Structure 1
Amino acid sequence: MDLSVVIPTYNERDNIHPLVARIHQALAPLGIAYEIWFVDDSRDDTVAVLRDLEARDPAVHVLHRDHERGLASAVVRGFERAQGRYLVVMDADLQHPPELLPAIYERLESGIDVVIPSRFVEGGSDGGLGPLRKLISWTARVIGQLALHRLRRISDCTSGFFGLRREVIDGVELNPIGWKILIEVLVKGRYRSVHEIAYAFVARDFGESKMSLKEQWNYFRHLVRLVSQSPPDRRFFLFCLIGLSGVVVNEAVLSFLWYGVHLRDTVASVAASFVAMLNNYVWNDRVTWKSESSGRGWGWKLPLFVGISVVGIAMTTLVMRVCEGFGVPVPLGQAIGILVSTAWSYWMNSRVTWRKIEREARGDAIVVTRESVRDSFARAKSGA
């Protein structure tokens, strides 16, 4: 089997026949062996429509679920049953054009690991969404890209329309929450190349959107779980938590030296700051960037960490002063300075102090390429 198209459905009876007809129209000229897997959670008569179609069309297969729900889990069940070398996931609401299937197949056949039709590549469009849905979609993408490093170069990481080689998910445990299965694949999958193709996301003709506050909440739960399972992504959050613990240590040591030992305030402050830096270094070495070499390398890693921390302190003060010059209250300017210096300190430590561990964890670079509508037209015209 060359290609499996996996389509999760929930109350989409009016879209089934037009969708299957357009899939056949798109794929038949390729002369390949393909199948269509519908994984259905419907509570209306969609399943009857699907069963009737399955009985008459040998390419159509149906799995109806009574005791499991959710778009992403439906896709996983479809992956488990699909026989194709290449897998494509798309929605049943006709907002994902089946006419792109040949292009997706050809890009996969050329050796690309993951192909994502994107609304945000030149020539693409998300015109099928209203203003509120566009805002929600943009917010979800940005939060995902900030939280997970593998999403940062993908323009449409929350898409529900994508294709991949089977090897990308072979042996990978997929256990997504909610509706964004692509994020799970991008974070956990084994791949080296991603290609985005521009497409226009259109408004649905039949049925209703399945978007809800519950699904938005599931999306955030999904992100938190993926971050917790991905060492490169959870490091920044660990770094911040350890930084907060350093504040507590600093205040405790300062109070002891000033009130208990009666050192001068300047001496007590400097001593407390260095004790806090040592606390932060030990925890970051043994937790944030934990490895077989943790606990070693103090002779060069600790000075690097302290140097970066000192520059971070100076940066915090500088940002606060600059903000003050623009009329920003000192406490707010200090908070902005802390955010800037924290991000800078993490970036520097990951690339200098613990650079070897960071490189090993991230592995080989993933190549991301994009194809606009103009590029697709030129490629089709040349027969590529």
Structure 2
Amino acid sequence: MLNVNDTIQQNRDDQKFVSIIIPTFNESMNIRDLLNQIQTHIPVETNVEIIIVDDNSPDGTGHIVEKYIEEKMNMQDYDLKTESQSKSDFNKNISIKVIHRKEKAGLIAALVNGIGSSRGKNVLIMDADFSHPPEVINRMISELKKQPNCIIVGSRYVRGGAINGMPLKRFLLSVGANFIARHGLSLRNVYDPMSGFFAFPKHALEDVEFNTNGFKILLEILIKKKSDICVKEIPYTFKDRKYGQSKLNLPIIFDYLKAVWKLYRYGRKSKRQDTQSEKRRSVRFISKAARFYTVGASGVALNYLVSILLSNGIFGSLGYLQATAIGIAVSVTTNFLLNKFWTFEDKNVETTRFIKQYGMFVGCSSLGILIQFLSIYLLSESGMSYDISLLLGVSIASVSNFLFNKKLTFKENIWE
């Protein structure tokens, strides 16, 4: 577990208003221009420190920052010696430092390291690849001054926000991860909990222990400080990187899913009023899931049997497409009936309600099929073998199918 309180080294005589933490790994083509642009967009009267946390980048990112700092100091010394009245390229209220880490040990660990060594009473976190526009920093600082006890989140999904230039695969993964975070972890009041561009008062991290390997620290903060701090989202336009390579890969996806599970368990534990009742809810959830998948397996068997009997069996000699269509219709209908009366124990057969539920069940089942195809496509395109992609795709689709029907068709709380 990582705890910011264990590493904070505040110098109260020289405390900055905000510390900008930028984790880097192989950002040599971006970092100098980014530092220049950040300084251009910070108000002259605002005391700021910029902390680069470099994970021993093979391309020398950390050493480039060191050279940049040296150039800045030499320029300031020159201005002082010559009593130059010309406007310097650098804001005198901004300091820059670099933290060299010996190895790449995870994004959250890098950020905790940076926050722990910061001197700002507030912290602003952003990426080094220009996906987070420096021109938005000024507004985030202004919002922090107006609302000193809020998390200010740069949001792609509130009105005015946008995503430009992101490849389709990454876009779908981003939207999917955001959906899981908002609905699976009950963060529906935050539109972009997966943002990596946000600012907050450092005291908000008191007593927060970070124990996930997820690549988005904001998600963990929102879950663990949900009842203690407000959130304000401001729009920005996300732009895909121009130089360098994306850090998103399969291990990061798995780390994210594990992090969501840990945070879900944390949220349930924090809400727990009675251990026994919590256990009974879990048993009910597992029992309904088991029934749902049992019904699904029976539907597959029924679909196959009906299609065979209608295409070349004793009940007819239809073409294979017609037989398959009827088989699907029969299996979907029987699945709906069994799930309604057995899985979710819904005995209400009022006509309008019944028809709406049936339509919603068909819609959720169709959505599950779409999710399966998209999952298989994304995983296969990322380099995973088709066999493994198929297995994971079917698993993801079946889980989403169950959760969608539980929530949307039969109007039950998802996690009970």
TM-score range, shorter chain: 0.5 to 0.7
Match of 1:187 among 223, 232, 253: 223
Counterparts of 1:113 and 1:7, CA distance in 2: 20
- Residue deviations 1:167-217 (CA, integer Å, cap 9, x gap): 211221123313111101111136432111111111322111111011111
Deviations 1:88-116 (A, max 9, x none): 00000011111111111111111251011
Q: Which residue of 2 aligns with 1:220?
A: 257
Q: CA deviation at 1:12?
A: 0.1
- State the identity as a percent: 29
Closer, same or farther: CA 38–325 of 1 in aligned 2, 3 Å: closer
Deviation (angstroms), 1:238:
6.6
1:109 is aligned to 2:145: yes
Counterpart in the other structure of 2:184 = 147
**How far apart are the structure 2 equivalents of 1:75 and 1:315?**
52
SS at match of 1:214: helix
Q: Distance in 1 between matches of 2:236 and 2:360?
A: 46
Answer yes or no: is the 8 Å Cα contact 1:50–1:62 preserved in 2.
yes
SS of equivalent residue, structure 1 residue 176 = coil
Closer/same/farther in 2, CA of residues 13 and 345 from structure 1, 3 Å limit: closer
Q: Distance in 2 between matches of 1:337 and 1:199?
A: 30
Residue type at the aligned position of 1:62: V
Q: Which runs of 5 or more residues in structure 1 are unaligned?
A: 249-310, 351-384
The partner residue of 1:94 within 97, 121, 130 is 130
Aligned to 2:30: 15
Q: Which residues in structure 2 correspond to 1:298-309 (within 5 Å)?
A: none
How far 1:50 moved relative to its partner? 1.7
Which residue in 1 is equivalent to 2:406?
339
C-alpha displacement at 1:312, in angstroms?
5.6
Aligned-residue Cα RMSD (Å) equals: 3.7
Alpha-carbon deviation of 1:313?
3.4
Do the aligned residues in 1 keep the contact of 2:195 with 2:216 (CA within 8 Å)? yes
Amino acid at match of 1:3: V
Aligned-pair CA distance for 1:54: 3.2
Cα deviation 1:261-300 (Å, max 9, x = unaligned): xxxxxxxxxxxxxxxxxxxxxxxxxxxxxxxxxxxxxxxx
Question: Residue 342 and residue 234 in structure 1: after superposition, are their counterparts in 2 closer, same or farther (change >3 A)?
Answer: farther
Structure 2 residue matching 1:313: 3-state secondary structure: coil
Please tell me whether the aligned partners of residues 240 and 342 of structure 1 are also in contact (alpha carbons under 8 angstroms). Answer: no
Deviations 1:206-235 (A, max 9, x none): 111111011111100110111111226887
* Aligned pair partner of 1:124 in 138, 161, 184: 161
Unaligned runs of 5+ in 2: 1-15, 74-94, 273-277, 291-343, 366-401
Q: Work out whether 1:313 is the aligned partner of 2:346.
A: yes
> What does 1:168-187 correspond to in 2, within 5 Å?
168-187=204-223
Q: CA deviation at 1:244?
A: 4.1
Letter in 2 for 1:129: M
Residue equivalent to 1:44: 59
2:281 is matched with which residue?
239
Q: Do 1:53 and 1:60's aligned partners in 2 also have CA atoms closer than 8 Å?
A: no
Find the residue that maps to 1:239 and give its secondary structure: helix
Supply the distance in 2 between the matched residues of 1:247 and 1:134 (Cα, whole angstroms).
30
Q: Secondary structure at the match of 1:126?
A: strand
Task: Name the CA distance, whole Å, in 2 between partners of 1:328 and 1:33.
Answer: 57
Q: State TM-score, norm by structure 2.
A: 0.60
* 2:161/2:235 contact within 8 Å kept: yes
**Letter of the 2:32 counterpart:** H
Secondary structure of 1:13's partner? coil
Aligned partners of 1:179 and 1:219 also within 8 Å: yes
Contact (CA 8 Å) 2:22, 2:52: kept in 1 or not?
Answer: yes
Does 2:245 align with 1:208? Answer: yes
The alpha-carbon deviation at position 344 of structure 1 amounts to: 4.1
Asked whether the 8 Å contact 2:153–2:231 carries over to 1, the reply is yes
Residues 228-265 of structure 1 deviation map (CA, whole Å, 9 limit, x = unaligned): 112268879972533545999xxxxxxxxxxxxxxxxx
Query: CA 1:232–1:148 in 2, change beyond 3 Å: closer, same or farther?
Result: farther
Deviates more, 1:36-45 or 1:223-232: 223-232
Q: CA deviation at 1:137?
A: 0.4
